[in-house]
Structure 1
Amino acid sequence: MESLLFKLMLIGSLGVLSQWVAWRFRLPAIVVMAIVGLMAGPIFGIMNPQNDLGELYSPLISIAVGIILFEGSLSLDLREIRGLGKPIFRIVSIGALLAWLLGSLAAHYVADLSWAVSFVIGGIFIVTGPTVILPLLRQAKLKPRPAAILKWEGIIVDPFGALIAVFAFEFIKFLTIDTVTFATVLAFLTGSLLAVVIGVFFGYGVGWMFENGFVPEFLKSPIVLITVIMAFVLSDTVMHETGLLAVTVMGMTLANMHISSIGDMRHFKENISILLVSAIFIMLTASLNRETLLSIFDWNIIAFILLMLFVARPLTIFLSTIGTDLQFKEKLLVGWIAPRGIVALTVSGYFAGILLEAGFDDAVILTSLTFGLVFSTVVIHGFSLGWMSKKLGLSTESKPGVLIVGSSKFSVNFAKVLQDLNIPVLVSDSSWSRLSHARRLDVPYENCEILSEQTDYQIDLTPFEYMISVTEYDSYNTLISSTFVPSFGREHLYQLPLQVNQGDHLEDVSKHISGKQLFEEGANWTSLNEKINGGYMFKKTSITDQYSFKQYLADREEGSVLLMVARKSGSIDFFSPSNDTKAEVGDTVISLTKPNNH
């Protein structure tokens, strides 16, 4: 028991540590997890989760796959599909079918797999998955069009890869059994239909209970988790392998009910999915044996991977986007980038077992084949996306951008200074009249409510590393900061100091929900805009060997406000009471000073 507890602790620790290392050093997380899992498993032999966990191993993998698929389907809002445009619709419909067909043909003729196994693995390999593609997009800082295509392909196709694999497996299994009768086929179709009913029932039931106040806030996340498991197990008990269909339908049902608690559920599934992705990926890679690892270098598997990389994927994109407005270079980039990830590996591990049980002996190489493709695509695409997007002119500015929430004379003039420094900047405000300042100075702006659920699709957040909330209302600034913590992280969220006696008269707020204080004490909305009206100007001061930052501070006139430092490296640092911001030689200090300050 102690040994098992230690192994479980080790799996969780290595998974989360891998995620942290990937974040800290800007590496593809799945690459780090794969390396850590291989080192802990087949290389150094520290653990073998499949043997250590025994009968628990397969159920844990199965439930994890169900929860991960629920995560993907919870993002599938049909309103968003209608607004995605012709290229994306083509890629997620015609493109997905082409990818399935080409992947299956490659698996049969090149990897030498039977038709049954080929069509199952072909379905699994259409999935790119948001857990892999989104971190890569944020690092590469693609322009909105290619980023949107890759992002939504990953989210929309994600739930359907396993579904296609399920149906392919069931139908081919029935076709290869001599005793197949109409009754058995009808039983399968009935079981599949029942899985859909179970998914709709549980999804609608949870949504209705949440909306009508039958569940307290502190129980919502646990109820979602246990309900997903219930839907999966109940459906799988009635008809094997239909649990995946049930949880996917459940997620889609919830996503399209547009309930107010959907944001809470998304936070839940993001957190639980990160933990599951980490733990399950470590378990899967650590359970590989050295023979499986070495078999990846088999010529058939290498040829299959090369064919998927250089023929199947590009052909799928170019054929499915004929007649759309996609440029050739956009097709080239999208046709190259298709990293497979955790869903592909976990689902293939799930199907490897049931295919072997069904008598398809060639399924024994399924794990090797999938791991080879996953590892190859994540490494190659992860490290080539940034380089290729720059070569094709499809990446945004490499400098970290700033998203400014709240249009005023101060914020728009500050945005103009950032724009002059070639720092990507956008001013967002729900009021068209307040945005007149931005229109007058020709500063990029977006007329939208930043807290709307449509924000992700109206504003491309990829170029922006920082968000600063500079509206007149302190409570609104705090709400924005707490809402966008998952997207930006606390270190990159700033808001103006409280006004206390002005605005909404907010006297205090918990640091746990607010952003970092921007600039300095007293530099609130009223003070900054009064300074602009009083003639204060933005000043850029270069720090040199002859003029140090210490000398600059000594010369600074009383009443001026230190705003930020533009580093010579291209990064930026805002002045804040919580930051010990200092400028070095080659940096530029931005301040708000009196017009006669030279």
Structure 2
Amino acid sequence: MAVTNGDLMLQTMVAAFAAGIMLIVVSRRVQLPAIVLLLLGGYACGPQILGIVRPDSLGGGLVVIVELAVGLILFDGGLTLDVQGYRLASGPIRRLLTVGVVVTWLGTAVAIGVIFPDVPISIALLAGSLVIVTGPTVIGPLLKRTKVNARLNHILHWESVLIDPIGVFVAILCFEWIGGMEGGTAVAHFGMRVFWGLAVGIGGGLLAHRLLHGAFVPEELINISVLAMAVLIFGLGEVVLAKSGLLSVTVAGFVIGVKKPPELKRIRRFKAEIADLAIAILFILLASRLRSEQFLAFGAGGALVVAIVMFIIRPLNVVVSTVGYNVTWKEQLFLSWIAPRGIVAASMASLVSLQLADTFGGSAAFVETFVYSVIVGTVVLQGLTAGLAADLLEVRAPAPTGWMIVGAHRLGQEVARFVSETARARAIVVDTNAKMVSEARQEGLQAIVADARDLDLMDRDEFQGIGNLLALTDNEDLNMLLCQRWSDAFGRARVFFWSPSADRRPGERIGQAVWSRLPKPSILSAELARNEAAAVLDTSADPGRLSQGTPIAAFRKSQVNLTPADSAPAGAAEAYPLLVLRREADYLRRGLRPELAVRLEIENQRALFEELVSRIVEVEPKVPREAMLKELIDREQVWPTALGHGIAVPHAYCRALTGRICAVAQIPAGVDFKAPDGEKVRLVFLLLSPQGDPEGHLATMAEIARMVADPEVRDSLLSASSPEDLLARLRTAAPA
């Protein structure tokens, strides 16, 4: 069966989609610039090797695909522009986009003219215009990896986004001049493109925001509606003046980003995925057109021109654009080294080559070869060495010392206050409970209502300088999930979580468990609120302070340490700020009554409950004897309260009580509680708590469970010679 052009078109697009996305995934896994793999993959898929991608089969459709994809990429770039970042380095950014453009354009054209005197000056100017652009598709991932200081980050990002449409306009100006248009007319067209692109972009961006803000678009259709708006804005720009659509979509994206609609995070995430898809497809399609012969013919002269662009023209551009501003020589060197070209340069070079091929065959190939050589040279050399350059020049952003604390309860507030006031680091409290967040703000803390699982929080201004996580919810699984999600952003050594069972689940966790011997954060917070516990700041050098409560945070060597007891300095005493949780009177000890500690010779469970409840009623007459007795017996039928090893903790709530009360009974002969280990119960803690105090009730039970889980403590309690001896041993064993 004969293969039709339609079959080749389908094969080409399927292969471009599949290979492009696969190579982007691989590049993320191996931490390599995606463009390197896409260029190699596109060339391998093309007619030169595998032949599964045939861009010629697309005909004029290739131009449409390229222009539309570039428009969507620039729309995504516009969405990410930060006005605050522009204000931080507005001078250098303005110069890079004006004077710097001229330096790169004319400097490159002169270098080509000198080294390749046979190349017409018009072609040299066109080639120079095509390497003006850098591009967010390369700069964005590079900045994420290197994490340079804020000023460099903003300069490079703003330059990469806005220089793309500027470079395209300059390239079109040169193209129209080559095509025979008079210089004055070409310049007039340039001005008209700028005016029309700005007008359509601003108007379209405002209209798109209006539609989003007015809830006209259903929530489930927001992403695809914004995509349609971007395409429409691009089309409106192109209909009137070709190539003005690129400026239109960039400006529209910027306007929507500045207006900050509630759905902006979703839109950015969706558009970033669309941009990745567009980059993947474009590079596969365009790289498949390249031929090895054109690069071999480029020769040493071509390599020299590329070197001049990288090592002379770019540094000259940076010096001219930053002189007179507060930019250090190390920052200037870094800016000089980082200017990788991306998809816009590749797309325009390919489009120009296609449209000039018939008229300027050799020159068209020269332009394409030169631009792709610059792309490969800058992406490979600069992309792979950016981190090393940042380290050598010491321009990386300082390691973030701030803390994100999940949980706006009292315990979270105490830790946040220690971090912000004692460690002098940024602390931000995150919670979905608006009431708790409001209380935290009233305490002078920075707190926001948000879902801590949302990684887009890092894009918020409040999160600048945040590099550590402390998850303090009552849900152990949620805490571990938060650590897992944020470990990529902060690093595994910088995520911490409360977990009572972390020691039993080491293989499941990412991050470090803290305070595992303490009860749930909500219980501790309730205790702090009732002044039954206190978080005390101790700045003394007394080595005994570590045993005067539970140390929960220390500030030593300019770092916050959440496990101070495990890392206390050995030897001489050292004075450093230490946050100690002192439980002024623990739950169990406050619930014990000497008159309710008894030794009984009883053989069955019901008789035991009758005796203990009767004694409690003598102490607290308001307790309804029969109702409590029934509740205790019924609970045992459904859920036995034996802990094993001869211990049981029957318990219930009582509306008549205003405080917890705990009766303790020694039963030498033992009573059958249907214990999991089959052993008879010889020591009973009967706990009754007020109906409105679930935290204290659960905390007391947890205290008992932790205490008797220790074999030495358990044996000591079981071997007590009398009720008085038992109470004395309980007071010694219970945590202070």
Are residue 410 (structure 1) and residue 407 (structure 2) matched?
no
AA partner of residue 427 (structure 2): V
AA partner of residue 277 (structure 1): I
How far apart in 2 are the matches of 1:360 and 1:2?
Answer: 29
Asked if 2 retains the 8 angstrom alpha-carbon contact of 1:47 and 1:286, the reply is: no
Match for residue 50 of structure 2 among 36, 42, 45: 45
SS at match of 1:468: strand
Asked if 2 retains the 8 angstrom alpha-carbon contact of 1:403 and 1:426, the reply is: yes
Partner of 1:58: 63
Match for residue 264 of structure 1 among 266, 275, 281: 266
Partner of 1:222: 224
Partner of 2:388: 387
Displacement of 1:231 in angstroms is: 3.1
Are residue 151 (structure 1) and residue 150 (structure 2) matched?
no
AA partner of residue 20 (structure 1): V
Match for residue 136 of structure 1 among 132, 142, 158: 142
**Identity between Structure 1 and Structure 2 (%):** 24
Are residue 103 (structure 1) and residue 108 (structure 2) matched?
yes
Are residue 536 (structure 1) and residue 551 (structure 2) matched?
yes
Q: Report 1:118-517 matches (<5 A).
A: 118-170=124-176, 172-173=177-178, 176-177=180-181, 193-296=195-298, 298-356=299-357, 362-395=363-396, 404-405=404-405, 408-410=413-415, 427-428=427-428, 456=459, 458=461, 468=469, 470=471, 488=489
Cα separation, partners in 2 of 1:98 and 1:12, compared to 1, 3 Å: same
TM-score, normalised to structure 1, is: 0.70
Partner of 1:526: 522
Cα offsets for 1:531-560 (capped at 9, x unmatched): 983523424759xxxxxxxxxxxxxx9979
How far apart in 1 are the matches of 2:487 and 2:232?
Answer: 28
SS at match of 1:161: helix
Cα separation, partners in 2 of 1:47 and 1:200, compared to 1, 3 Å: same
SS at match of 1:123: helix
Displacement of 1:232 in angstroms is: 2.8
Please, which moves more after superposition, 130-139 or 490-499? 490-499
Partner of 1:571: none
Are residue 20 (structure 1) and residue 25 (structure 2) matched?
yes
How far apart in 1 are the matches of 2:359 and 2:486?
Answer: 47
How far apart in 1 are the matches of 2:331 and 2:149?
Answer: 10
Asked if 1 retains the 8 angstrom alpha-carbon contact of 2:416 and 2:428, the reply is: no
How far apart in 2 are the matches of 1:307 and 1:265?
Answer: 40
Cα separation, partners in 2 of 1:456 and 1:124, compared to 1, 3 Å: farther
AA partner of residue 526 (structure 1): S
Are residue 33 (structure 1) and residue 38 (structure 2) matched?
yes
Structure 1: segments with no counterpart, 5+ residues: 420-424, 439-444, 500-514, 543-556, 561-595
Displacement of 1:376 in angstroms is: 0.9
Match for residue 115 of structure 1 among 111, 121, 131: 121
Cα separation, partners in 2 of 1:145 and 1:181, compared to 1, 3 Å: closer
AA partner of residue 369 (structure 2): S
AA partner of residue 223 (structure 1): S
Are residue 9 (structure 1) and residue 11 (structure 2) matched?
no
RMSD between aligned alpha carbons? 4.8
How far apart in 2 are the matches of 1:86 and 1:387?
Answer: 27
How far apart in 2 are the matches of 1:516 and 1:226?
Answer: 41
Asked if 2 retains the 8 angstrom alpha-carbon contact of 1:120 and 1:169, the reply is: yes
Asked if 1 retains the 8 angstrom alpha-carbon contact of 2:35 and 2:379, the reply is: yes
Displacement of 1:391 in angstroms is: 2.0
Cα separation, partners in 2 of 1:270 and 1:385, compared to 1, 3 Å: same
Please, which moves more after superposition, 139-148 or 523-532? 523-532
Relative contact order: is structure 1 or structure 2 higher (C-alpha 8 Å, sep ≥ 6)?
1
Asked if 1 retains the 8 angstrom alpha-carbon contact of 2:402 and 2:468, the reply is: yes
Larger Rg: 2
Please, which moves more after superposition, 132-141 or 194-203? 194-203
Displacement of 1:305 in angstroms is: 0.5
How far apart in 2 are the matches of 1:414 and 1:376?
Answer: 46
Structure 2: segments with no counterpart, 5+ residues: 1-5, 407-411, 431-436, 501-508, 536-548, 553-562, 568-702, 708-733
TM-score, normalised to structure 2, is: 0.58
Partner of 2:713: none
Cα offsets for 1:77-126 (capped at 9, x unmatched): 55642343444444344333322332333344335543333333333322
Asked if 2 retains the 8 angstrom alpha-carbon contact of 1:221 and 1:265, the reply is: yes
Cα separation, partners in 2 of 1:135 and 1:486, compared to 1, 3 Å: farther
Query: When the two structures are aligned, how many residues end up with a matched partner?
Result: 510
SS at match of 2:428: strand
Displacement of 1:308 in angstroms is: 0.7
How far apart in 1 are the matches of 2:15 and 2:206?
Answer: 38
Cα separation, partners in 2 of 1:209 and 1:288, compared to 1, 3 Å: same
How far apart in 2 are the matches of 1:518 and 1:486?
Answer: 11
SS at match of 2:303: helix
AA partner of residue 252 (structure 2): M
